[in-house]
Amino acid sequence: MREKERFKVKQFVYDTGTPAFQVQGRMPDGKQVRKNVQTFHEALQVKEELELKARGQPVEFVLRKTRLTQEKLAEAEHVIRSLENAQKAHAHLKGKSLQFLVDFALANYKEPTTRRIVRNAFTEFKVAKSNTKRRPRTLDDYDTKLGSLVEKHGDTWVDEITTAQLEQLIDRTNEGSTQNHYRTMYATFFKWCRTKGYCSSNPAEGLEIAKFDQPDPAVLTLPQAKALLIAAQAYEGGVLLLYIVLGLFAGLRPAEIERLPWSLIDLKSKLIDISGKVAKRRKRRTVELSDNAVEWLIPLAGKSIFPKNFRRHFDAIRRSAGFKGSVSKKAGDDALLPWPHDVIRHTAISHHFSEHEHEGKTAKWAGQEPEVMHDHYRGRVTKEESKVFWNWTPTTIHDEATTCARLEDAAGRLSCQRQIPMTLGIRGRDVQAEMFGSKMACSAANQNRAVQPTNV
């Protein structure tokens, strides 16, 4: 005979008008029970639990309405029992819910990896990049930027490297562009490691990107550019004159000059073919040579474009032109000007833009984006200065008029004030060159458009 049910479910409505359900009845000891719930299904569940309690049966075996399949229910019960057993054995797990453990696993789980220590992975990385025809300069950059990682964490498993460890390797006192370059290198390396299965995530993605203001490119004043050309002419038979000319009058990047063979220079057609093997990011372009550039290049035809001991030669020429070297400090360096980054190319682009007044034409000539021309090169030099600049030849460069023929714009703001003899010390012999300093009597904007003039 079926036992009489002690509890019933009744529907009612709150004073607010919200419908609800009440489970009511008495326990065997006579205690009255009333419990309100929102849905009929919840009411049935409460009623079943109370009936089991009244009969003295375990409540954990209550039949509950669920969307889980029988398999998922069995798995859930197994996991909960495992958690309960673990909590008995490990005090630090007591009070931790199943949801907490699931969230922790999702945040920290890593796919099984093929383990490699950083040093061995970097060696493989270099070989792989070399096999994909990366340029020597790029491979050297990997050594420079990733060297500190290998030095400090070379014996650490790749999958154990953290974002915090990478952050400690970046000198945040450096310029923002330098910081971001390191971040890019780390991201490239760990992205490659991830494709090889050496790690399941890229720790460099968590590194903060440095924010910085992009400075306007510095350009050489006419006296400084002239001093550089004369110094290059006089130094060791013009061993580096070709390099200076290609940068100053053709606007080539230093790395492009280094890779440029004479076979791509056509003096008859006045063109340089910057092939994909030479160009930055392998984007081919054609550079038109100015008439004065051709005059400089003709007597240099066939000479080495990027000779041995380049850095030593270049530093000597820079010092002769009034700028510091870069390899080692020498007596008198404190009195010289710092050498701005890529200043030869920036000077070329500024004068080309000033002469042609066409962003697209100069951008194509220089291998740059048009918006870069507008934002960074407009107004860097005057038309009068560019007229002098593009008329310099191996012979006219020594003519006083090519630098100081009273450069004056429409407002009369720029004029040559004085001339001071300059002595260039070239390998133990003095080469006298009449140079001219220029005194700027113009607005602050004009004063900031170039490197401060040397005392020449």
- Per DSSP, the residues of 328-354 read S--TTGGGSBP--TTHHHHHHHHHHHH
Question: Is the pLDDT at 413 greater than 60, yes or no?
Answer: no
**Mean pLDDT (whole number) for 27-42:** 89
> In angstroms, how far is CA 315 from the centroid of its own chain?
28
Residue pair 261/280 in contact (Cβ under 8 Å)? The answer is no
**Mean pLDDT (whole number) for 76-91:** 84
**Mean pLDDT (whole number) for 308-332:** 88
DSSP state of 4: P
Residue 305: left if φ>0, alpha if ψ -120 to 50, beta else—which one? alpha
One-letter amino acid of 212: F
The C-alpha atoms of residue 230 and residue 222 are separated, in whole angstroms, by 12
CA dist list (Å): 321 to 213, 215, 332, 449: 29, 24, 13, 19
One-letter amino acid of 251: G
**What is the predicted pLDDT for the residue at 112?**
61
**What is the predicted pLDDT for the residue at 447?**
37
Structure token pair of residue 174: 């450096």
Residue pair 65/46 in contact (Cβ under 8 Å)? The answer is no
- The more confidently predicted of residues 196 and 418 is 196
**Mean pLDDT (whole number) for 296-307:** 95
pLDDT, tens only, 148-203: 999 999 999 999 999 999 999 998 888 888 899 999 999 999 999 999 999 988 99
Question: Is the pLDDT at 453 greater than 50, yes or no?
Answer: no
Q: Helix crossing, 176-195 with 136-153: angle to 10°? A: 80
The C-alpha atoms of residue 106 and residue 162 are separated, in whole angstroms, by 17
The C-alpha atoms of residue 350 and residue 370 are separated, in whole angstroms, by 13
Torsion sign (Cα): 330, 332, 337, 343: negative
Residue pair 125/142 in contact (Cβ under 8 Å)? The answer is yes
The C-alpha atoms of residue 110 and residue 368 are separated, in whole angstroms, by 42
The C-alpha atoms of residue 394 and residue 244 are separated, in whole angstroms, by 13
pLDDT tier, 234 (very low <50, low <70, confident <90, very high otherwise): very high
E strand or H helix that includes residue 417: none
Question: Is the pLDDT at 429 greater than 50, yes or no?
Answer: no
DSSP state of 381: S
